[in-house]
Amino acid sequence: MRKHHMPEMKEAGVNVTPLIDVVMCLIIFFILVAKIGVSTGLDKTIDAPTTYLGVPITDLGNALALNLYPKAGADEPQILVDLKGERQKELKLQDNKGGKLVHPLREVLQDLKKERGAKFKVIINADKGMRYAQLQLVLQACAEAGVSSVNFATKPQSKLVPA
Amino acid sequence: MKIKGAKAVHYDSGPNMTPLVDVVMVILIFLMLTGSFGAAAHFLPSSMPISMKGKGQIDPTKIPKVPDPQLEIFVASKTSTDYVARLADGVQYLNGVAPSGKTLVQALTEKRVAHEGLGKSADTLQVVLCPRLSTQYDHLMQVYQAAMTAKCPKIGFQSAKD
């Protein structure tokens, strides 16, 4: 009688190909979802006030961040914005162009408000020590431009239980 | 002479996938953690324009009209760390606390509840912050926050002249 030999057993090991497929899919998903390097236009070096209340703004595409810096010896603050691909562009509250008084900040806000409608919002990012004398000029410009949604950038603080 | 016990060589073993899996796992963990960053900033929203009934120099034709304020809070900075908020009833709140121990949040909450008790909704109670020109932004935001904590939905600002 012929002997039937069992075939040689080879070490199979774990097939990692499907694992790599799944992991690659997850990586692609997180690359698309994660907001890495997305600029909000806010200057993080500004020491904003600290509050325990606040809401995250998810619709930053319809928001214009105004970074305010106090100007020594001047009533109005320096305003820097990220606008149309140009980073830290200075916008003045008012300027003299060829003998004519213009209001660049107000005009920009009006144009954006017209373009984006009611969803348009302004984010004010200023140092906590800034005086209201300078801040109110920016708020007035927003009001004159018809911007009704003005938000104030603050730093989160650990939640205190209000009395 | 054939050496007994030598293992047969597998020429079809392919590349070693273990380092690749290690690197991929590290990248994946990095992306999972990075996705939660960048949410450190948050915002205090305001949906009211600046009031035209102020002492500042505003062209009244250019400011949208708002009804007369119903709840004014006067805010002044005493030092760089201390501020005083005063309601129309004259009670002063130093850093948000009155001499009686009552907080500004409690006082505003009472006003809001009293307003709602008249059958009116909270969004018809307009809180207007009246700072001075020298009032610090930080102190203004603390009072703003107190109004938000008291669940007053409409908070605006009055222009200042002094």
Enumerate the domain spans of chain B.
71-157
CA distance A28 to B36: 16
- At A158, the amino acid letter reads S
- Do the domain assignments include residue A7? no
Q: Which of A25, A40, A136 to mutate to test the interface with B (most CBs of B within 10 A)?
A: A136
Q: Tell me, what's the ipTM?
A: 0.73
Query: Would you tell me which residues 112-141 of chain B have a C-beta closer than 8 angstroms to some C-beta of chain A?
Result: 131-138, 140-141
**pLDDT surpassing 60 at residue A130:** yes
DSSP A103: -
- Do the domain assignments include residue A44? no
Total count of domains within chain A: 1
pTM: predicted TM-score of the whole model, two decimal places:
0.70
- Do the domain assignments include residue A124? yes
The predicted-structure confidence for B111-152, as pLDDT tens digits, reads as follows 999 888 888 887 788 898 999 989 999 999 999 999 999 998
CA distance A65 to A63: 6
Q: Which two tokens stand for residue B42?
A: 């948050």
User: What is B71-157's CATH number?
Assistant: 3.30.420.270
Q: Residue B4's pLDDT is what?
A: 57
Arithmetic mean of pLDDT, A84-101: 81
Residues of A in Cβ contact (< 8 Å) with B10: 10-11
Range of the domain at A118: 50-156
Mark yes or no for CB contact B136/A150 under 8 Å.
Answer: no
Task: Count residue pairs from A and B with Cβ separation < 8 A.
Answer: 164
The predicted-structure confidence for B67-98, as pLDDT tens digits, reads as follows 655 788 999 999 999 999 999 888 999 999 99
CA distance B73 to B90: 10
Mark yes or no for CB contact B42/A139 under 8 Å.
Answer: no
The predicted-structure confidence for A3-60, as pLDDT tens digits, reads as follows 677 766 666 677 878 888 888 898 888 888 776 666 678 888 889 998 888 777 666 7
Inform me whether the C-beta atom of residue A25 falls under 8 Å from chain B C-beta atoms: no
